[in-house]
A and B are shown apart, each in its own frame.
Chain A
Amino acid sequence: MNPFALSAYVTSLATTLIGLFVYLKRPASEVNRSFFIYSGTIALWALLTASHSIAGSEWLSLYCARLMHVAVALIPVLFFHFVLILLESENESRLRLILHTGYAMAVALGLGCVSGDLFVHRVRPKLGYQYFMDGGMFYPLLIAFFTLFSLIGLLLLLKAIRGSKGLRKVQLQYLFWGSLIGYGFGSSNFFPVYGVTVFPYPYGSFGITAYVLIMAYAVIRHRLLDINIAMTRTGIFILVYLVILGLPFGLGIWGRLWLQNFFGEWWWVFPQVVCAVTAGIGPFLYIGLQQKAEEALLKHQRRYQHTLLQASRGMTLVKDLDHLLKLTVYILTRTIRISHASVYIFNEREKAYQQRKSRLLVASSEILQFAEDAPLVSCLKGIHAPVIAEEIRLRASLEKEGSIAPLREALERLKAAVVVPSFIRDQMIGFLVLGEKRSGQIYTEDDLNTLSTLANQAALAFENCEFIKKVEQTQLQLFQAAKMADLGTMASGIGHQINNRLAVIKMAAESIVRAELAPILEVAGQTKNEKLRELAVKTRQSLERISASATKGGEVVRALLDFSHLSEGFQETSLPKALEQSIRLLEFKKELRDIDLQNLVPPDLPPIWGNFTQLEEIMINLLDNGYDAIKMKEEARERGELPKPPNSSKGRVTVSAQPLQRDGKSFIELTVKDTGIGMTPETQKEIFVPFFTLKATSIKGTGLGLYVIKQMVLAHQGELFFESEYGKGTTFRILFPTRKGNTP
């Protein structure tokens, strides 16, 4: 085995492998098929070249030599064809012409090679090989054709590179440089035909292997390193390792004599030590040089990445959500010069990702919202990393099936170049949609890493804002509750004071009637003074009214005191009593005469297991809501939003209750039905959310009512149901257990 044959066999293997790999990746694709055929031909040629140089018999060597030149003729044309398909220009008439001409010439040359000796003259021992070919008269023609056509192919590529941008451009660049190296070094195989043994002979074929490796990298990695960086890194790597390995080797080979003088038998230790030392510092040297080189290359890019990182750190300090979003899109569009940027955030209630902020992008309704299961969303969640529009476009055009198509469409509608997801732990709380960079450059791996960091920082900052908002809301709730508790304690003292006053009023009034008026009436009777008698009677009547009023006042106070005196714990509670109290208390708040309130609760209803105060609270809230609903319906009728029936009677709230058996357990079912405005299906979803309220400012509501009711019903181990129809009314049904531990 000689180095020439070895390098050729290696090449053959490498090209076969990559050809197969690309083919198997997507057998249906024309590009992949074309590449396979091209690679296969190179493999065949390499195989035959190698074989011809180590063939044992003259005949075999010549046979191989002649055959391999068919491949030689075809290779550049196949390359050209492949490039055409890749650039999707197979149909350009001028290029088609070149292609067909090429094939024609290749076929002609190939035939010429195998028949006769005009091209491949003969084989003979030379240059140390058993048999090696000599070129015939027309052989130079073949060389010329090969060179010319490969140059045409490369020039076509070069033109395409100039006119492309982004990922495409980088891919083409890889192909160009790889092929250039391959053809460049590969053509050194022509040298031995004329006895030329200059470098890169006999290792020229390794150039083709290098080409294969480059292509492999370009094919396997979707996201390629910028070619400048790739070449720089490779260059530095080769340089550094030449030093690391070359130094000790060189010492060993050329310095042997000198070393043997010094160290005698142990001369070889010295190079070994040198090797160890250089191997030790090698990696550091490599990294150091690489960093320096890339810093210089990427100075511009690094600068804005730095800006981005700084900005993302500052983000978590922003407390206001709106401000945060504005900041995010501003940084993206201004500082790193992106054509447009938008932020999408997940809305819990709507279960969709909504566009919350956008800069420099024209809004259209179809891109304002994305459902949880939209293709873009699923893709982002699946890969947990940024989505690059160009890659998707590439895949969509290569894969003829339609699964990628909706994703590509979505990206197109967004005019997005990159979509970066934002994750908090494992939940995707939103994503950033970014347009092309204004400079036209692609988003490199570094860029995407930085953007991901930014996105995740933004997610943290966002969570921060939401948390603060919740805390504020909770604080409000707490203040309200504290205020209520205070009111409760005050109420007790105030109630007493008022009761005492009322007691005095009542006593005093009645005292006058007994102590003073009675004798006056007597005197009037005795003196038959009609006028006096009349006055006395009138006085007495007034005083009686005063007394009655004082009594009523006492009842009011008592109701208030009953309510503020929170009964704790659960016990047998009378629902009818609680209802009575609730109605009485409600009368303070609302003008109950405006509605028709029907209390159909039987007074002998069996007790429930509950808390009296909470029961009151529940019923006050339900009745209150019913009253408000009726009022809102009236207002809607006034505004014309709802039809006004000819004989509209007063709105009605009906309260009823009855025992109920279910699953062997007994309950009391309380029903509160109103003929008010009712609720739309959207509203029905929201009503138990704290702070949700539909009540306009005319009827003030804190929005806590139904939420509190729900909590209380749950505390009673009860259940809450409701039915509602917008424009018709609402019915609430609550089941209360009648016995302790009676869980439904």
Chain B
Amino acid sequence: MSLIVLVDDEEELVRELKQMLEIQGHTVATATEGNEGLALILKTRPDLVILDLKMPGLSGLKILEQAKQHDPGLKVLMLTGYLDEDSQKQALQLGALAVLGKPIGFEEFEKAVQTALKR
């Protein structure tokens, strides 16, 4: 089963998402701070990364940039509370597979993860 790294500064949300992903059989590693998250990504070799855009420490976009540099084939999904057009464009340009908006439903999330993993 796949290794997913989840980085979001909202602890409760991270817990929920982790629980949900684990039910589906994935292994989940989490971080709630930017730098921590990047280190985690670089250390492990996740099949999928789920990143929040806005975070303390390193921002989601920065993490995306650096992670992609390290591993261009890395699959990344962005999560965000604010669908700002500019940030969206930037994220997609930097190589994110999709930008998902919060709040997000179970089904939608599940589908997005599956699609991402299949690519």
Contacts and interface: CB of A to CB of B under 8 A. Distances in A.
A495 B12 contact: no
A554 B102 contact: yes
B117 to A, nearest CB: 18
B66 interface: no
Given A500-B10, A504-B12, A513 B54 contact: no
Contact of A504 (B13, B106, B107): B13
A510 interface: yes
Given A492-B82, A511-B20, A499 B105 contact: no
A507 B84 contact: no
A566 to B, nearest CB: 12
Nearest to B110: A514
A507 B106 contact: yes
Contacts of A502: 102-103
Contacts of A558: 82-83, 101
A105 interface: no
Of B54, B84, B104, the most chain A CB neighbours within 10 A belong to: B104
Interface in A535-588: 547, 550-551, 553-554, 557-558, 561, 565
A110 to B, nearest CB: 114
Contacts of B20: 507, 510-511, 514-515
Contacts of B106: 506-507, 510-511, 513-514, 547
A505 interface: yes
A499 B103 contact: yes
Given A500-B102, A502-B102, A554-B102, A508 B16 contact: yes
Given A514-B20, A554-B103, A500 B82 contact: no
Given A495-B81, A496-B54, A496-B82, A505 B23 contact: no
Contacts of A565: 82, 84
B52 to A, nearest CB: 9
B101 A511 contact: no
A503 B104 contact: yes
Contact of B102 (A499, A508, A510, A515): A499
A540 to B, nearest CB: 12
Contact of B82 (A495, A550, A551): A495
Contacts of A492: 82
B90 interface: no
Contact of A553 (B10, B16, B103): B103
B17 interface: yes
Contact of A515 (B10, B19, B83, B104): B19
Interface residues of B, number: 21
Contacts of A557: 81
A511 B23 CA distance: 9
Q: Which of A492, A495, A502, A504 has the largest count of B CB atoms less than 10 A from its CB? A: A504
DSSP majority for the A interface? helix
Contacts of B17: 507
Interface in B7-33: 10, 12-13, 16-17, 19-20, 23
Contacts of B16: 503-504, 507-508, 511
A503 B82 contact: no
Given A496-B54, A504-B16, A561-B82, A550 B23 contact: no
Nearest to B109: A507
Given A507-B106, A547-B105, A500 B19 contact: no
Interface string B56-84: 00000000000000000000000001111
Interface centre among A500, A547, A558 (most CB of B within 10 A): A500
Nearest to A512: B106
A595 to B, nearest CB: 30
Interface string B91-119: 00000000001111111010000000000
Contacts of A551: 103, 105
A492 B54 CA distance: 11
Contacts of B81: 495-496, 499-500, 503, 557, 561
Contact of A503 (B10, B23, B84): B10
B95 to A, nearest CB: 24
Contact of B13 (A503, A515, A561): A503
Nearest to A567: B85
Contacts of A496: 54, 81-82
Interface string A511-543: 101110000000000000000000000000000
Nearest to A502: B103
A510 B81 CA distance: 19
Interface string B37-60: 000000000000000001000000
A506 B19 contact: no
Nearest to A493: B54
B101 A507 contact: no
A558 B104 CA distance: 13
Contact of B101 (A504, A513, A554): A554
A507 B13 CA distance: 8
Contacts of A503: 10, 13, 16, 81, 102-104
A287 B101 CA distance: 93
A348 B9 CA distance: 59
Nearest to B52: A500
Contacts of B54: 496
Contacts of B101: 554, 558
A557 B83 CA distance: 11
A390 B60 CA distance: 88
Interface in A632-648: none
A505 B103 CA distance: 8
A616 to B, nearest CB: 15
A643 to B, nearest CB: 50
A232 to B, nearest CB: 88
Contacts of B82: 492, 495-496, 499, 558, 561, 565
Interface of B: 10, 12-13, 16-17, 19-20, 23, 54, 81-84, 101-107, 109
30 contacts: A495-B81, A500-B12, A500-B102, A502-B102, A503-B10, A503-B81, A503-B104, A504-B16, A505-B103, A506-B103, A506-B104, A506-B105, A507-B16, A507-B17, A507-B20, A507-B103, A507-B104, A507-B109, A510-B105, A510-B106, A510-B107, A511-B19, A511-B20, A514-B23, A515-B20, A515-B23, A547-B106, A550-B103, A551-B105, A558-B82
